Structure 1
Amino acid sequence: MRLTVALILLSLVHVSASVYSQNKKLNLNLKNASLQQVFKAIQEQSEFDFFYRNEQIPSSANVSVQSDNEPVEAILDNVLKGTGLNYYILDKDIVISSKEIGLSNSSQQQKKITGKVTDSSGASLPGAAVVVKGTTTGATTEADGTFKLLIPSDAKLLVFSFVGMKTQEVAITSKSEYNIVLTEETVGIEEVVAIGYGTVKKSDLTGSVSSVKSETLKNLPVKSLSEALQGKVAGVYVTKGSGEPGAGSDIIIRGAASINGLGPLYIVDGVRMGTGNNFNMSDVENIEILKDASSAAIYGVEAAGGVILVTTKKGKAGEKMHVDFNAYYGTRSAVNLPTLLGSKDYIKARKIMGVEYASWNNSTANTDWMSEMYSPAVEQKYDLSLSGGNEKSTYYISAGYLKEEGIRRNNWFERFSLRMNSDHKLTDNLTIGQYLYINKTKNRPTGDGSDLPYRSIPLMQVYDPTRVGGWAGVPDGFQGTNWVGAAESRIYNNNSWGMEGNFFADWKIIKGLNLRATVGGYMGGDDNSQFNLLYDYGILKNDIRKLEKGMSRNESMNGNAVLTYSRSFGKHDIKAMAGWEAIKSTGTNINASAEGFPVYYMPSFTTSTQSSTARFADAGYGKGSQLAQFGRLNYNFAGKYLLQGTVRRDGTNKFIGANKYGVFPSVSGAWKVSEESFLKDNTSLISNLKIRAGWGVLGSIGSVGDFIYQSAYKKINVHSFDGINAVTGWGDAKFANTDIRWEKVTTKNIGVDLGFLKNRLTFALEFYDKQTSDMIYTVALPVSSGIGEHNGEYGGTINIGKISNRGFEFEANWNDKIGELSYSVGANASFNKNKVVQIGEKGSLIYEGGATWMNSSISRTEDGYAMGQYYGYIADGIFKTDAQAAQSAQKDAKSGDLIYRDLNGKDANGKLTAKPDGKIDDADKTYIGNPWPKCFYGINFDLAYKGFDLKAFFQGQAGVDLFNSTKGIRQSFYADYNTTSEIFNTSKFGNTNITGLPSVYQTSGTGEILRDPNGNYKNVSSFFVENGSYIKLKDLQLGYTLPEYVSKKIGLNSTRIFIEGSNLLTITKYTGLDPEVGGGVKGRGIETNGLYPQTRFISMGVNLKF
């Protein structure tokens, strides 16, 4: 602690005047003792107390003391000689300070305080910490719980803490004695969590609500809300299928509820927003996920996929301005890139196929196209925030910048963000405030062609300054492209901006009655363009510059008023809420193109030299409106029995008539068994036991557009009378359906929350049943209807289909502290079974997903199975000989071909029978894989010791199948693509050996080598289905916080440095790029050649507080 002028002068007076210090004689006999040991010995023989900072005492200042009946001044003069320390005696207090602290820099007056710290039973707490907030000035309590401390006279707060007790802050007043009672800490149970249009104590929750606090996300390099939730919350399934900068993630809560997807609704500070991918995660205070109808029904429409509530940071009343600066800088590198054939092996493989050109022998090129296109890339992020407030107003202002370079050429993502939150207490009863978030992004995506590395052979050079564009052309016999040239010759620029926020007024009308009115909205837009430069690769060329441009604008406004009443009487607590909300949104878009630009890059239509090529392509306009009334009633009896009911009535312009409005009710209840006397009075082991259950209905409008209930017409080419020219006419594009109505999701759930040892150990287990009905889907109609295939359109959108999701979730957490070591371990796991109960009429099928080189679609959806399961033949190995193949049920089979299982046949009426019929055809296809995991989970470890902290987070899935269609391009020359060394391991490639991989090439009777002449390899089969289970070390972070006195010396309040790694390790049997494959709903889990590789990230960063 710093000594002040007044203290020094006062101490000097007391040195000369203190009778006690002059008369007290001491006997000491210490050898090679530390100064702290000397001070302690003096205290034991006297009534003196010492005040000093440990960091002031030299660690090497060991002394020997031999004193017989000497005064304390003589002893201290001797032991402090040469240490650079002074002492001052104030009555019976001895202050040790640095000599350089003198009259010139000591301006603070000090005062002495004393007190005692006890627990709620009155027992003393020895070793409790007493610290002046924001400083290192402090002390620990003695064995009897008492303490003495000298503090600056302008100190504002004292912080009292003890292991297992709640930390308590006490305002410093004019009194000199502080007797403090610390209460036991019950981990987590008294947290307040956000629910729709309000908050509730976690212990009083009756619905399924999970929380992710800002501390959980602290310093992790997550850039979107969905990334932040991956593996952190039971029941929330997140997949990030692409490593491209700015790419989003799929998020599904408690199973896919509709073939239309049904993603969650995002609410940020009361404002609806999009997917959350342009959100600055440094601004987040808490995230709450409403997973069941009893918690989410208050949002009615759009809540069928769950609700994600985000609360951003605010300033705190009575605190001086805090400045926080957080930054990290690191590099990303590709994970598990395939290795393509070099020139030598490429020529060898092609010669085996009988393909050879003389010019190949003269080629000196051996281009590694993967290395040319992929290289480590930099990512950097900087965030600066200011927060604070007084008794009347609080504020939080932040600015953020993110730049993520892509590992692929000509690919990056950049984001600028600004947030301003404030609230102002105008009177004791009226508070107003606002939340505002502005962001702008710049993105250069890859566009198409992520499979282009296979389309560029190693015999090509990259550059050739003699050709148009400067890119090398293709050699003889090759019709592919120059991958680097293709990436650099198509310039994509996607720019977007957005502004969202709200203004609110909170009026406490009378005690217990509160009205909150909010007006908010969003406006934003996109400006996307593609500019094609000149190039000539030989076969592929572009001799005219072309610009394509698209623009869109979106706006939404919403307002709501919520009246809340709460009252307690006796053992009864009642809280009622009623509200009204209106939402209006509009969207416009326009697309155009032009050709003929004189210079390298001029993305403006006005610079085109061929104005006649400029054309307006298309435009669109849409609008939506919703009107809702809602209410909620909570009843709590004796703090043990909880009941909640909600209802929301929503109206939308998407439907008409009686179907325009939908009513979505829910009810839930809980029994806090741990509050019952038979448990509470007989055991201290169980600190929380709550049983809860809920039921409710949620609504969705699916993905329907405007006027979906009306018929529509389209200009079509219907018929040709002369066999040459088609006659243009108008035909039905879809039929009217005035009965189209809301999708409905009904949920039932029952769960139990358990806490042991004052909630240091917690468990949560929940079972749920989620049923979707009236699913909205567009179906095809027969040509005879006059609507459908003749004009390339589907026939109509109707409510048809039922989806079932059933499962359970499990969470466990342990938090503890051993001395200065605090740690926590947590795990969550989710199990879900998805099944289509009905989709259309009996026998209706939906096909989706595929690869261009395969014979049929890969996935199929029908009654009785999960959505989007893989459908094809079961492969039972490989034919070893031609004789074995000839005796099989497969037509034209050869040795090296995959053996397909003969499962079924057809009777005389063409109906499927479960009896083999001696031939392989479509009747033998079956379901060969399920893309939905049986289980997904997350595991986290957190340690903190003194200034060090360590975080480790693992995430994974089990019991899932992936369809690896990239095998077809990695094991053969598809078209004139390059391939990998796996081709040499396929059966009969250049020899007659049968290996573990099927043959892709067969030799014809004339000796010609043909690629899969009988279509055996191109069939969708279980050969391509692999185990997609994995566990990943998603994040590992080590940090160190400098001692506070070190930070103070450099003008900071707190300094933390850290190193972090993401996606460091993957354990899996999957042989594709990465087992984390998305794909929406119907094409789930299908890896294609166009996927952007996942990346590994290593970074360093700082967290500074001013």
Structure 2
Amino acid sequence: MKNLLNAAGKLLPCNKKLFLTMRFSLLLLICSILTANAASVYSQNARLSLKLDDATLSEVFDAFEEQSEFVFFYNRDYFNDSRLVSVNFEDKQIDEILNELFTGEPVTYEIYDRNILLKIPPSISPGSGKKYMQQEPAVSGVVTDVTGQPIPGATIVVKGTLQGTVTDAEGRYAFAEMPAGAVLVFSFVGMQTQEVHVGAQKRIDIVLSEDVIGIDAVIAIGYGTQKKATLTGSVAAVQGEDLARTPATTLSSTMIGRMPGVIVNTRSASPGEENLQINIRGKSSWQSGNNPLIIIDGIANRSGFERLNPNDIESISVLKDASAAIYGSRAANGVILVTTKRGRDGKPTLEYTGDFGLTQPTRVPEMARSWQFAQYYTEAQRSGFIYSAEEIEKFRQGADPNLYPNYNIEDYILQKVAPQSSHTFSIRGGNNIVKYYISSRYLYQDSYFKEGIDDYNSYNVRSNLDAVITENLKLSVNLSARRDDVTRAIGSNSVYNVNVGYTNIGFFEWMLGNRPTEPIFYANGLPAPIYNVNLVEMIRGKAGQKDDRTGTVNSQATARWDLPFITQGLFLEGTAAYDFVNVRTKEFAKSYDMYAWDNSTGEYVNLNVNPVMSRSLNDYFYNSYSTTLSAKLGYERSFSRHNINTFVAYEQYSILYEWINATRNTFLSDQIPYQFAGDANTQQNEGSGYEFAYRNIFGRFGYNYAEKYLIDFTLRRDESLKFPPEKRVGLFPGISIGWRLSEESFIKDRFTNVDFLKARASFGQMGSDNVGDYQYLSSASLQSTSDSYVFGSDPSVVSTLYFTGTPNPNITWEVANTWNIGLEGTLWNGLLGFEAEYFLSRRSNILATRNASVPTYAGMTLPDENIGKAQNQGVELMLSHRNSVSNLRYNLSGNIAFTSNKIIYMDESPNVPDYQKREGYPIDSWLLYQTDGIFNTQEEFDATPVKRPGARVGDIKYIDVNKDGAIDDNDKIRLYHSCIPKIIFGLNSDFEFRGFELSILFQGQAGAKTYVNPNERNGDINLPLWIYDNRWTPETAESATIPRPFYHRAESYNTLKSDFWLRDASFLRLKNLQLGYNLPVDLISVVGLKGARFYVSGSNLLLIDKIKHYDPEVVNDLGVYYPATRIYNFGVNLTF
């Protein structure tokens, strides 16, 4: 828009001030069109009445605003509040009132919908004497753009108050009064907002620069930074202040839904052990891990990413294409760059953030009660679990707590809400010599369990220091330490989930499987056994507890030496980092009192007959020591319109792991959890160590001409000890180009509404060594005692070594070739922003076994070889809109990504039917039996010619896919569905109005299928209520959606892996909602505060999906899981 008006100014003989006024008017008109659908109707139809005697002009304006929707904009410097007026208007339109009010005065006005702008002729200035206010303004000034042209209509607000004004046609403003400690906020559509501390200043002139959706923002990239305007790679970035809008205990939780192509799914919410899975642009390999490389302040492989304090984060960048190639062998799955906050010029700023939350599970499936359990297993004809109608009725009534209990297990186990809290203190400041940022945080999380001992405590400290040693030598030192304490009651365990792998579900598995026909506590309060344990007593820690203590120390020093005496722009930089991690786990198990009740005698017998023998202690100690050393020679220089940024660097990384495990049993006391107190004859000890190293040489050459034509080239040479000497070296190139079309005259002159437009493309080759170590070596294991031998006459057993597997001397990296093209831009002075990208990644050298090439009768265990191939491709889109209307500022953005992957080659066995082979299908595609509902009637059952042996009416109807007259493994087919979503999206909106802030974040996914069949669980365990309510019976034959009751161990017919149990995992989630308020500065300055903000927020408040009974992000194939967390927060930010 600015370009359009400037072009018109060149063609017409009018002065620029007029066109600046026109620009302001036109922008207001556009805002009106965007925010109202009846702009002129209100001002024409509204009729007002007002009678005031001896009132000031401001009181008149305030009175009109109170009885209407009109808002007045004017510069108080030009209106004399010592002059009193009397008005009497009856049922008049606003233009009639204004004409009468300003008769004979040099005041004009313009009405934009409900906004009224009062204007003074340019000939009248604050010093001309032709004004209505004789008092000298407390603060005044002029607001201009970077060319020196005044900006009419810019908004100036005293931060945290309702006091504000707008600039006139000359860009001038004035405030008659100014509270102590005030901060002025200057803003205008399409310009960067600025904040200025007033202090003792009387005149403050401001130059606002264009902010076209942050094209001048500096974004972290591999081993450096780059302006968004000249960025040629696909890099998604989010600022720390945006992450802070989502109060969370883990860092990745704050990233959800904010960056296109970044998939973050919660797999468990157990305090201190949250399992979040991050994928960038989906999945490209079935063998190696798909987790991205994480870099924290330039150092790779640092532990504790999830445990970083979100308040310490300056920004997070995600490298998704060739921009990641500079990280070479570990970048095939993308790279996440985390930059922590640093000091800045200015007086020390002390900040406190306190967050207090209440948590509860998002969804816990309702389980069957005792009478429903009894009914189900009676219908299943389970031997030992057949009940009469009279007994089932007794269970329904809960007639006898010992014999016929009826309780809700959740009432014993779960709290209504669990508390959590965090407290962060930070101090930030510096001068031209030293800058510093120091912070500390304490975090506490309680578990969902009532009276449980499970909890998590975390302590973080960080210090980032930057110092200027000499004019050309700068030093940066980062130190951070963290301690994590996790306490668990004995009984937590990990379960394999076919959807997501191993997850820690703890006592939820016990709770969801509890047999409800047996009491947890007898009528007299004594604990009863179910499956030989008492769940409530275990949660209380009566069976012992497990304490995990993890200490982490990260240290880093970077020195930069500028070398202008050789040539301007040349520098040498060196970094040394040392990290230490210590883990100590103490698990002390003991017996506890449970009682068996003899119904015939009425006696309770304690089952804890030998507590000494049942006690055991396991101590586990683990240490890791890692060192990173790097040196970089760089050159950054601009010649006329030529800009060069290049460097070459060397880096080496080494890590040493050590661990030891010690166990003893038979402790005389449960109050002495130390090894010496156990029986030495029962001790078992083991330990080991491991070393690993990388060595890398890499560099970048970046060049652009006038920030219009852009190119970036990187090359990395990696060496990894995981592979044989002749296969250790890998070369990984990357190249990207960009073209800022908006800088071309054919765009500037013809499409003046285009502010910024850039096309870019990239190609990169990256590697992955996330595979088993040293597979090129033969490995030997010591035989267990049972597999050892006796030689000769000596009766002693001799242990032997045996070789495991077959080594592969040719094993090497997986390789990912990645292509990316993108188009991004902003229109109408930043009102609309967009990004569109297409990407293609082809992975080769994936480790796989030659199942087809070598016959099975060869009689050998085949090694993995680099023969597999896969492909992943997709499209990413992002749209944003921001605007400012009067005192309302808002920012709307949405992102969506479409991804699909498939296996190209993996040497499958020739014995596998084509419809079961994995080639051509998604990496995690399901191989399942096909079904056609349920045998609802005997007639339908008899009319089906092919049935699996043992089938009955009410069972699942399987399809004979290969038409061979039998239902067997050959009837499974490969599906184009997997648990990885094909579509992910996020919707984010932020609003600011007169000190209030509202932030709303939606997140969702589509195209994923998850497998849920609770009937596959072992034993006579409880079942979800939805299974009971929807089961097949002769009475519900027509409406049933679940097969007939059956006992799992006796009949496996209905537990076959089939599409019957496949569920659509698409969902839309209200991920975060936050409402905040900034207290007025004049109110808080009297107590020494610079800022005070209070907020309430909620996470995971709403979920729309098709599964209903479980959380689709977390549920496993058996329907048991540690649910995701719904959080209600109250917080405060105080700045001193």
Structure-1-length-normalised TM-score: 0.81
Measured at CA, do residues 224 and 800 of structure 1 come closer, stay the same or move farther in structure 2, by a change above 3 Å? farther
Contact 1:844/1:862, CA 8 A, preserved across alignment: no
1:31 aligns with 2:77: no
**What is the rounded CA distance, in whole Å, between the counterparts of 1:495 and 1:869 in structure 2?**
39
What amino acid does structure 2 have at the position aligned with 1:397? I
1:898 aligns with 2:939: no
Of residues 752, 756, 764, the one that matches 1:688 is 756
Of residues 451, 456, 459, the one that matches 2:509 is 451
**What is the rounded CA distance, in whole Å, between the counterparts of 1:422 and 1:501 in structure 2?**
12
| SS of alignment partner, residue 364 of structure 2 | coil
Contact 2:77/2:175, CA 8 A, preserved across alignment: yes
**What is the rounded CA distance, in whole Å, between the counterparts of 1:554 and 1:701 in structure 2?**
20
Partner of 2:1061: 1024
Contact 1:712/1:734, CA 8 A, preserved across alignment: no
Give the superposition deviation at 1:492.
Answer: 1.7
1:658 aligns with 2:726: yes
Contact 1:480/1:976, CA 8 A, preserved across alignment: no
Contact 1:860/1:869, CA 8 A, preserved across alignment: no
Partner of 1:482: 534
Partner of 1:1051: 1088
Partner of 1:755: 826
Aligned pairs for 1:113-132 (under 5 A) are 115-119=141-145, 123-128=149-154
Question: Per-residue CA shift, 1:460-497, capped at 9, x if unaligned?
Answer: 44346999xx63234xxxx4642223333241211111
Partner of 2:520: 462
Question: Per-residue CA shift, 1:840-873, capped at 9, x if unaligned?
Answer: 4555989xxxxxxxxxxxx998322212222121
Residues 415-424 or 511-520, more deviating = 511-520
What amino acid does structure 1 have at the position aligned with 2:882? N
Partner of 2:314: 285
Of residues 256, 262, 266, the one that matches 2:294 is 266
Of residues 772, 775, 797, the one that matches 2:843 is 772
What amino acid does structure 2 have at the position aligned with 1:820? N
Higher relative contact order (CA 8 A, sep 6+): 2
Question: Per-residue CA shift, 1:364-388, capped at 9, x if unaligned?
Answer: 5433222211212001111111001
Partner of 1:602: 672
Aligned pairs for 1:522-561 (under 5 A) are 522-535=579-592, 537=594, 543=611, 544-561=614-631
What amino acid does structure 1 have at the position aligned with 2:469? L
Give the superposition deviation at 1:301.
Answer: 2.3
| SS of alignment partner, residue 316 of structure 1 | coil
Partner of 1:675: 743
Give the superposition deviation at 1:184.
Answer: 3.5
| SS of alignment partner, residue 277 of structure 1 | helix
Structural RMSD (CA):
3.9
Contact 1:296/1:306, CA 8 A, preserved across alignment: yes
**What is the rounded CA distance, in whole Å, between the counterparts of 2:917 and 2:780 in structure 1?**
28
1:396 aligns with 2:447: no
Question: Per-residue CA shift, 1:914-950, capped at 9, x if unaligned?
Answer: xx22222221111244222221111111111111111
**What is the rounded CA distance, in whole Å, between the counterparts of 1:602 and 1:465 in structure 2?**
34
**What is the rounded CA distance, in whole Å, between the counterparts of 2:508 and 2:158 in structure 1?**
59
Aligned pairs for 1:183-582 (under 5 A) are 183-246=209-272, 247-258=274-285, 259-272=287-300, 273-274=302-303, 276-292=305-321, 294-317=322-345, 319-352=346-379, 353=381, 355-356=386-387, 362-364=400-402, 365-375=405-415, 376-408=417-449, 409-445=452-488, 447-448=492-493, 449-463=507-521, 471-474=527-530, 479=531, 481-487=533-539, 488=541, 489-510=543-564, 511-535=568-592, 537=594, 543=611, 544-582=614-652
**What is the rounded CA distance, in whole Å, between the counterparts of 2:521 and 2:76 in structure 1?**
77
**What is the rounded CA distance, in whole Å, between the counterparts of 2:529 and 2:185 in structure 1?**
73
Measured at CA, do residues 715 and 465 of structure 1 come closer, stay the same or move farther in structure 2, by a change above 3 Å? farther
What amino acid does structure 1 have at the position aligned with 2:921? Y
Residues 874-883 or 1029-1038, more deviating = 874-883
Question: Per-residue CA shift, 1:935-987, capped at 9, x if unaligned?
Answer: 11111111111111111111111111110122555xxxx52212244454455
Measured at CA, do residues 145 and 695 of structure 1 come closer, stay the same or move farther in structure 2, by a change above 3 Å? closer
Measured at CA, do residues 779 and 388 of structure 1 come closer, stay the same or move farther in structure 2, by a change above 3 Å? farther
**What is the rounded CA distance, in whole Å, between the counterparts of 1:513 and 1:990 in structure 2?**
85
Give the superposition deviation at 1:601.
Answer: 4.1
Give the superposition deviation at 1:648.
Answer: 0.5
Measured at CA, do residues 36 and 627 of structure 1 come closer, stay the same or move farther in structure 2, by a change above 3 Å? same
Partner of 1:638: 706
**What is the rounded CA distance, in whole Å, between the counterparts of 1:727 and 1:356 in structure 2?**
56
Question: Per-residue CA shift, 1:75-123, capped at 9, x if unaligned?
Answer: xxxxxxxxxxxxxxx99899999xxxxxxxxxxxx99776543445665
Contact 1:206/1:644, CA 8 A, preserved across alignment: yes
**What is the rounded CA distance, in whole Å, between the counterparts of 1:701 and 1:507 in structure 2?**
34
Aligned pairs for 1:96-135 (under 5 A) are 115-119=141-145, 123-128=149-154
1:704 aligns with 2:772: yes
What amino acid does structure 1 have at the position aligned with 2:455? W
Of residues 807, 816, 820, the one that matches 2:887 is 820
Contact 1:1035/1:1061, CA 8 A, preserved across alignment: yes
Give the superposition deviation at 1:1014.
Answer: 5.1
Question: Per-residue CA shift, 1:40-71, capped at 9, x if unaligned?
Answer: 9xxxxxxxx988999xx99xx999799xxxxx
Question: Per-residue CA shift, 1:1000-1030, capped at 9, x if unaligned?
Answer: 446xxxxxxx658553202111110011111
Runs (5+) with no aligned partner, structure 1: 1-28, 41-48, 67-89, 98-109, 789-794, 847-858, 905-915, 1003-1009, 1078-1084
Aligned pairs for 1:835-874 (under 5 A) are 835-843=902-910, 862-874=918-930
**What is the rounded CA distance, in whole Å, between the counterparts of 2:1074 and 2:185 in structure 1?**
29
Runs (5+) with no aligned partner, structure 2: 1-50, 63-74, 89-126, 494-506, 597-606
| SS of alignment partner, residue 747 of structure 2 | helix
**What is the rounded CA distance, in whole Å, between the counterparts of 1:666 and 1:368 in structure 2?**
60
**What is the rounded CA distance, in whole Å, between the counterparts of 2:349 and 2:196 in structure 1?**
20
Of residues 953, 966, 978, the one that matches 1:930 is 978
Of residues 1058, 1070, 1082, the one that matches 1:1033 is 1070
Measured at CA, do residues 591 and 843 of structure 1 come closer, stay the same or move farther in structure 2, by a change above 3 Å? farther
**What is the rounded CA distance, in whole Å, between the counterparts of 1:893 and 1:131 in structure 2?**
76
1:959 aligns with 2:1015: no
Give the superposition deviation at 1:515.
Answer: 1.6
Question: Per-residue CA shift, 1:206-254, capped at 9, x if unaligned?
Answer: 1111101112112412232322222211111111021211213011112
**What is the rounded CA distance, in whole Å, between the counterparts of 1:120 and 1:340 in structure 2?**
67
Aligned pairs for 1:797-812 (under 5 A) are 797-812=864-879
Contact 2:717/2:732, CA 8 A, preserved across alignment: yes
**What is the rounded CA distance, in whole Å, between the counterparts of 1:50 and 1:802 in structure 2?**
71
Percent identity over paired residues: 31
What amino acid does structure 2 have at the position aligned with 1:443? V
Question: Per-residue CA shift, 1:126-159, capped at 9, x if unaligned?
Answer: 4545689999998754443334568999999987
Measured at CA, do residues 669 and 709 of structure 1 come closer, stay the same or move farther in structure 2, by a change above 3 Å? farther
**What is the rounded CA distance, in whole Å, between the counterparts of 1:702 and 1:629 in structure 2?**
20
Measured at CA, do residues 752 and 151 of structure 1 come closer, stay the same or move farther in structure 2, by a change above 3 Å? same
**What is the rounded CA distance, in whole Å, between the counterparts of 2:799 and 2:750 in structure 1?**
86
Question: Per-residue CA shift, 1:383-417, capped at 9, x if unaligned?
Answer: 11100111211111101011111113332222110
What amino acid does structure 2 have at the position aligned with 1:1094? A
Question: Per-residue CA shift, 1:429-477, capped at 9, x if unaligned?
Answer: 111111111111011246225321244333444346999xx63234xxx
Contact 2:833/2:880, CA 8 A, preserved across alignment: yes
Contact 1:560/1:580, CA 8 A, preserved across alignment: yes
**What is the rounded CA distance, in whole Å, between the counterparts of 2:769 and 2:802 in structure 1?**
27
Contact 2:189/2:829, CA 8 A, preserved across alignment: no
Aligned pairs for 1:19-168 (under 5 A) are 31-34=53-56, 36=58, 115-119=141-145, 123-128=149-154, 141-147=167-173, 160-167=186-193
